[in-house]
Amino acid sequence: MTDAPPSTLLADQSAYAEAVQLALDAAAAYYGDGTSSLDDDAYDHLVRGIQAYEAEHPDEVLPTSPTGKVAGGAVVGDVPHMVPMLSLDNVFSAEKLVEWAASLERRLGRPVTAWSVEPKLDGLAIAARYRSGRLVQLVTRGDGTKGEDVSHAIGTIVGLPARLAEPVTVELRGEVMMTTSQFEDACAKRQAHDGTTFANPRSAAAGALRAQDRPYVCELTFFSYSALLHSDDASEQAASLRGLPHSEVMAWVAAQGAQTPAVTDVGGIVATTLERIQERVEEIAAKRADLAFGIDGIVIKCDLAADQAQAGFGSRAPRWAIAYKLPATEKITKLLDVEWNVGRSGIIAPRAVLEPVVLDGSTVTYATLHNVADITRRGLMLGDSVVVYKAGDVIPRVEAPVVHLRTGDEKPIPIPQVCPLCGDEIDASQERWRCVRGRACRAIASIGYAAGRDQLDIEGLAESRIQQMLDAGLIADFADLFYLTREQVLGLERMGATSTDNLLAAIERAKAQPLSRVFCALGVRGTGRSMSRRIAKHFGSMDAIRTADAQAIEAVEGLGPKKAPGVVAELVELAPLIDKLVAAGVTMTEPGWTPPPAPGSDTSAGDDAEPGGTPGLPLAGMSVVVTGSMSGALEALTRNQMNELIERAGGKSSSSVSKKTSLLVAGENAGSKRAKAETLGVRIVGPEEFADLVGDLI
C-alpha cells in the first residue's frame, strides 16, 4: 500500500474559493440525483487540497467549506436522524494506520484489544427503520443530521427484509449499492428506455434509490454495517444487545434476516493486533477484483462498546473508526479520438484515445472499445467525459459516457465504411466487423504470428523477410513456407547460402511441432495458446477437430455455446490452408494423446489417480500458475513453454491465482501473484523445486 495520493494544489485565495464551490457543487449533485462532475478519487484530491490550504491560511476559511462536514456539506432532505449519521476519516497506508491507532490508544489511555475489520462498501449510506420488526422507513444520510425519505424504494432492495425475525424496534444502517449483475440489468433497462447507459454502479444506485417516476425499476442490494436500538425500547431483547461488541451486534443483525458482509468472501473479522489488521487489509484488497460489488477500502473500528463510548465523536466522524482507502479502479476522463486497427485475422477493432489519466498506479492513454455495436449501445461521442476502468485490474476499458457532463460540443464517432488498412469492403454481418480479405489483409501479421516462438517457432523469419517473400509472390499464407525451395530463398536480397539453409532447416523443424502449436498458428478467433492446447488435448488430431460440430466443440473447457459456432465456421474458412499444411507433412496429432473414456465406461484408475488429471503424472488434477523470472533448468523456457510443461505433467495452467489454484511457481520478482497466493494459503515453490517435481518431462 502507498501513502496518501497527492492533493490538488491551490495557489491563492481565488483558487481556494473556486475549489470550495466545485466541491460543494459535486457533493450536491452526487447526493441529489447521483450525478457528479468528479469521480471519487478526484473529489478526494480536491478536498485534501482545500484542507491543506486551510491549514496554511486559517483566517481565510470559508463557512461553506466541505471540510469537517458530512457529505461535503450537501444538505438533502428534512428527516432528522435519531443519532448523527457521520462519515469516516481516511488513511492510505499502513504507516498512517499505525499513527491513527497510536493516537486513539493515547486518547483512551490503554491499548485496544479488539478491532473489527470490514470491507468499505462503495454505495450510499441509508438508515432502515423498523418498528416492532416491520420495515417502515428508509432515510438517506444527507448532511448527517437529517436526510431524505426514500421509503418508496422499499421492496426493491435485496438484503433488506420487510420483517425481521424478532419484533424489535431498531434502525439498521448500511450501504445500498448495485452488484455487477444488477448494474448490467439496470443499463439494459435504461438503454431500452432512452438509448443511454449509467456511468457506473454507484451513480446508478444513487439515481435508482431516489427515482420515483421512471417507467422501469432497478433492483438494489443492501449490506448492514451497524444497528441502533430505539431509546424507548425496554424489551428484554433490547437490553441484552446494549453494550455488546460490534461483532456480536452484527451477528444478531444477520440472524434477523438482514444482509451483512459476513455472507461474502470479505466478511468482517475481529483482530487483536495491528499486524493482523494489515494482513486482513491485504486479503480483502486481493479479492477486490473478483467481488460482485464495489469496495473502495477497509473499515477498522474498535469492536468493544466501551472503547467506542470513551473515544467519542468528532464533528463529522467517529474517533474510534477509520477507513483504509484503496487505489481507485475507475476514473473519469475525456474521449479524444477513436482509432480503427486491423488484426491479423482481418478483425477491425476500435481503440479509444483518452486524455491521459492515472488509474490504479499507471497512466492510461488508450482503452479497449469492443466493436461498432458496443460503441452504439453505449452512446459514445468524441469529446465525451467517460468512465474508464481496468478489467481484471489489467486491461483499460471504457465503461460509459457521463451524459450529464456533455456541453453540446461532442461529435459522433466516425464509423469506417471500408477497411481502414487496405480500403476493401467490410463484412459487417457479425458484431465484430472484418475486412472481406480476412487474413490476406494483414498477411504479414498473420504469417509472423504463425512463425512466432510460441507457435511454429521458425527462427530467422523476421518481418522484413516475410515482406520480401510476399512482395516476390513466393507466399500468400504461412502454409506456403513449407513449399519454399532453396533456389527461391537464395534469390531474395541479402540471403546467402548459410542463412538460407538455416531458415529452411528451421521451417523443416516446424513440421514436427505438436498439434496444439499448429492449431494456435492458425489464429482461430476466440482461441489462443491456452485454448489451442485444450482443443488439441481434447480431440487429439486435426481430423477430429475438423469433423467436430458446434456441440462437440462446446465440450472443450472454456468454449461455450457463444464461441463454438464461430470456431466451426472459421475452420471451414481455413480448410484450404489446413489442406496445404497436411500435404506438406506438418504434424496433425498431439503427442501422447489418449482418447477419453466412452460414456458409461469404468473410469476408476486406482488409488493414485487424482480427479481431473492423468493418473501417475506429477501434477495430475492440479491448477498451476507461473509468475516471475524462471532460473536453473527452466530459465530458457518461455511462459507458453512452461504452460505446455505443466499440461504434459498432467496439470492445468492458469494465469491468475484464486481459491482453485493448487500450486504457484514463483520465480524472481514474483510480485502480486505471490502475495495473493500467500493470502489464500496456496502452496508456493521456486523454479528449482518445480523442476525436481516434473523431473524428466522438462
Mapping DSSP to helix (H, G, I), strand (E, B) and coil, where does residue 467 land?
helix
Q: Is a pLDDT exceeding 70 seen at residue 239?
A: no
Residue 507 pLDDT level (bands cut at 50, 70, 90): very high
Instruction: Specify the CATH class of 330-418 in words.
Output: mainly beta
Range with lowest mean pLDDT among 197-201, 463-467, 630-634: 197-201
Q: Is a pLDDT exceeding 90 seen at residue 430?
A: no
Does domain 623-697 correspond to CATH entry 3.65.10.10?
A: no
CA–CA separation, 93 and 695 (whole Å): 44
Residues 6+ apart with CB under 8 A from 347: 432, 433, 434, 525
Contact 638/454 with Cβ under 8 angstroms?
A: yes
Angle between helices 529-539 and 639-648 (to 10 degrees): 30
Residues 6+ apart with CB under 8 A from 19: 8, 10, 46, 49, 50, 53
Residue 16's nearest CA partner among 68, 66, 74 is 66
Residue 8 pLDDT level (bands cut at 50, 70, 90): low
Q: Is a pLDDT exceeding 50 seen at residue 1?
A: no
Mapping DSSP to helix (H, G, I), strand (E, B) and coil, where does residue 176 land?
strand
pLDDT the model gives residue 233: 57
Q: Is a pLDDT exceeding 90 seen at residue 20?
A: no
Residue 76 pLDDT level (bands cut at 50, 70, 90): low
Q: With 0.75 as the threshold, say if the pTM is over it.
A: no
pLDDT in tens, 541-600: 999 999 999 999 998 887 888 888 989 988 998 999 999 999 999 999 998 776 655 545
Beta strands in 303-453 (DSSP E): 321-325, 330-342, 348-359, 362-368, 381-382, 385-391, 395-401, 411-412, 426-427, 434-435
Say which CATH topology domain 13-74 has: Helix Hairpins (1.10.287)
pLDDT the model gives residue 391: 57
pLDDT the model gives residue 611: 41
**Per-domain residue ranges of the chain:** 13-74, 80-325, 330-418, 442-510, 515-584, 623-697
Q: Which three cell numbers stand for residue 370?
A: 469492443
Query: Most confidently modeled of 194-203, 384-393, 678-687?
Result: 678-687
Under DSSP, the state recorded for 319 is: T
Beta bridge pairs of residue 342 = 348
Under DSSP, the state recorded for 478 is: G
Q: Is a pLDDT exceeding 60 seen at residue 219?
A: yes
442-510 shares its CATH topology with 515-584: yes
pLDDT the model gives residue 144: 85
Q: Give the mean pLDDT of 387-402.
A: 74
pLDDT the model gives residue 671: 74
pLDDT the model gives residue 65: 78
Residue 40 pLDDT level (bands cut at 50, 70, 90): low
How many CB atoms neighbour CB 3 within 10 A?
11
Give the CA angle between residues 596, 599, 601 to the nearest 5°.
85
Q: Is a pLDDT exceeding 50 seen at residue 203?
A: yes
CA–CA separation, 642 and 453 (whole Å): 13
Residue 422 pLDDT level (bands cut at 50, 70, 90): confident
| Superfamily in which the 80-325 domain is placed by CATH | DNA ligase/mRNA capping enzyme (3.30.470.30)
Start-to-end CA span in the chain (Å): 38
Residues 6+ apart with CB under 8 A from 308: 246, 301, 302, 318, 320
Say which CATH topology domain 442-510 has: DNA polymerase; domain 1 (1.10.150)
pLDDT the model gives residue 603: 44
Contact 360/297 with Cβ under 8 angstroms?
A: no
Say which CATH topology domain 515-584 has: DNA polymerase; domain 1 (1.10.150)
Burial of 19 (0-12, 13-18, 19+ CB in 10 A): buried
> Over the Cα atoms of the chain, what is R_g?
30
Q: Is a pLDDT exceeding 80 seen at residue 38?
A: no
Contact 688/677 with Cβ under 8 angstroms?
A: no
Q: Give the mean pLDDT of 158-176.
A: 94
Residue 30 pLDDT level (bands cut at 50, 70, 90): low
pLDDT in tens, 510-529: 999 999 999 999 999 878 88
Residue positions annotated with a catalytic role:
120
CA–CA separation, 247 and 87 (whole Å): 20
Q: Which three cell numbers stand for residue 524?
A: 482461430
Residue 621's nearest CA partner among 633, 608, 612 is 612
How many CB atoms neighbour CB 548 within 10 A?
20
Task: Give the mean pLDDT of the chain.
Answer: 85
pLDDT the model gives residue 485: 94
Find the DSSP H helices in 346-478. 372-378, 443-450, 463-471
CA–CA separation, 354 and 338 (whole Å): 9
Residue 140 pLDDT level (bands cut at 50, 70, 90): very high
Share of the chain above pLDDT 90, in %: 44
Mapping DSSP to helix (H, G, I), strand (E, B) and coil, where does residue 147 land?
strand
pLDDT in tens, 444-462: 889 999 999 889 999 989 9
Residue 609 pLDDT level (bands cut at 50, 70, 90): very low
Q: Which three cell numbers stand for residue 563?
A: 464461441
Q: Is a pLDDT exceeding 70 seen at residue 39?
A: no
